[in-house]
């Protein structure tokens, strides 16, 4: 009997395991067996913005509950889709479930897109499944790090590209909240390698040592010392935390010197909110699929994949040095880790991977 891990939409830390309805495949469908996936603060963000950004729509669930999307690997267990053979392995967007039925569209050597009717209105980038056999980023010995960092790193790659593509909005400094978050320090590392701006990281006092050791930031500042930053330096704020109080302090400190305010994540989701009337620019939500679409148009799908893979290989030593991989087994373990992420009990250097079966 297949199972789903369901998350309460109104209380993200509340989860339960439910039996999943089984059905035979229709022509054109394939059944994926979920092998493994990662759980990070990124998945909490999917839950926080589940309704607003339609994340709940990818994997429908019972009323009041949702299946939070995760990134990981799956094996084709059964197929009635031409070009998708049983035994093939894919990387992509998965539910916290034992299995997933997909309807592959045009199958290419690189992979396929799920064209199931309920996913037609959703961002295309999340519907793609990549065959590991032809994936330029895949190596068997780094699977855990790929699951942990790949979706986050892709976002980091896109933030770095977006800011550079816009001339950093005239800023000389980029400031990150939640500097210990993987998305934040991966972007900071890319910006440091690119040059042209200085990079500062805001973090909690307990994470100061970890963040400094990453070597990605020119300055590491505890939240209670935000006002020590030079308020006259033209800056971009990249908000990974989603904490209204922190966002408000950054805006009120820099005011018109804040060239752009980019809202990315919600690691401090419990302190979210609009933050009141803010001086400086209105915060703009960064929606990664928009930048993906732009760059695929500019570079082509192959070019985009290759540029991302090249950047990933350059970042991999940082990923290895900064992460202690913690593995769990089964959906019950996934539920516990997700609840710990929601409540902020996961340590900054931990990378959680769940294996099924």
Average pLDDT, stretch 65-78? Answer: 97
How far apart (Å, rounded) are the C-alpha atoms in residues 150 and 134?
16
Query: Are 198 and 263 in the same domain?
Result: yes
Last residue of a domain, one of 232, 263, 288: 288
**Up-side HSE of residue 40: CA atoms within 13 Å toward CB?**
29
pLDDT at 43 > cutoff 90: yes
Query: 331 in the Ramachandran plot: left (φ > 0), alpha (ψ -120 to 50) or beta?
Result: alpha
- Domain assignment of residue 46, given as a range: 3-134+323-355
Tokens of 338: 């997700």
**CB count in 10 Å sphere of residue 39:** 29
Last residue of a domain, one of 263, 288, 313: 288
Query: 189 in the Ramachandran plot: left (φ > 0), alpha (ψ -120 to 50) or beta?
Result: alpha
pLDDT digits (tens, 9 = 90+) for 140-199: 999 999 999 998 898 999 999 999 999 999 999 999 999 998 899 999 999 999 999 999
Query: Are 129 and 170 in the same domain?
Result: no
CATH of the domain at 174: 3.40.50.720
Residue 308 falls within a domain, yes or no?
Answer: no
Tokens of 248: 């408000």
Structural domain count, the chain = 2
Residue 316 falls within a domain, yes or no?
Answer: no
The model carries a pTM of 0.81
Residue 19 falls within a domain, yes or no?
Answer: yes
Query: Are 264 and 234 in the same domain?
Result: yes
Residue 248 falls within a domain, yes or no?
Answer: yes
Residue 317 falls within a domain, yes or no?
Answer: no
Query: Are 110 and 155 in the same domain?
Result: no
Residue 237 falls within a domain, yes or no?
Answer: yes
For 196, residues 6+ apart whose C-beta sits below 8 A from its C-beta are 164, 168
Mean per-residue pLDDT over the chain, rounded: 93
Query: Are 210 and 116 in the same domain?
Result: no
CATH of the domain at 16: 3.90.180.10
């Amino acid at each position: 009997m297949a199972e789903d891990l369901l998350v309460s939409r109104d209380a993200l830390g509340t989860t339960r395991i439910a039996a999943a309805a089984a059905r035979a495949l229709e022509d054109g469908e394939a059944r994926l067996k979920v092998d493994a996936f990662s759980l990070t603060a990124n998945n909490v963000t999917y839950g926080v913005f589940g309704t607003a950004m339609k994340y709940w729509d990818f994997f429908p669930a019972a009323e009041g509950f949702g299946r939070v999307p995760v990134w990981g690997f799956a094996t084709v267990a059964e197929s009635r889709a031409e070009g998708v053979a049983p035994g093939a392995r894919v990387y992509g967007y998965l539910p916290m479930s034992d299995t997933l039925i997909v309807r592959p569209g045009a199958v290419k050597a690189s992979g396929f897109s799920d064209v199931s009717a309920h996913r037609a209105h959703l961002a295309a980038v999340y519907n793609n499944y990549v065959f590991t056999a032809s994936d330029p980023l895949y190596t068997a010995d780094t699977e855990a790090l790929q699951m942990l960092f790949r979706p986050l790193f892709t976002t980091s790659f896109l933030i770095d590209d977006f800011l550079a593509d816009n001339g950093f909005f005239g800023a000389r400094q980029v400031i990150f909240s939640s500097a210990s978050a993987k998305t934040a320090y991966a972007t900071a590392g890319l910006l440091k390698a690119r040059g042209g701006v200085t990079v500062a990281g805001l973090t909690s006092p307990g994470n100061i040592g970890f963040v400094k050791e990453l070597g990605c930031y020119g300055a590491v500042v505890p939240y209670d010392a935000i006002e020590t930053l030079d308020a006259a330096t033209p800056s971009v704020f990249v908000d990974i935390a989603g904490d209204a109080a922190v966002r408000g302090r950054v805006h009120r400190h820099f005011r018109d010197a804040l060239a752009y305010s980019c809202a990315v994540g919600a690691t401090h989701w419990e302190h979210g909110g609009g933050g009141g009337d803010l001086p400086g620019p209105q915060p703009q939500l960064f929606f990664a699929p928009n930048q993906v679409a732009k760059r695929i148009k500019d570079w082509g799908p192959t070019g985009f994949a290759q540029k991302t893979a090249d950047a990933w290989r350059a970042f991999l030593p940082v990923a290895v040095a900064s992460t202690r991989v913690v593995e769990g087994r089964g959906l019950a373990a996934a539920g516990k880790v997700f609840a710990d992420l929601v409540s902020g009990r996961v340590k900054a250097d931990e990378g959680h991977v769940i294996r099924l079966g």
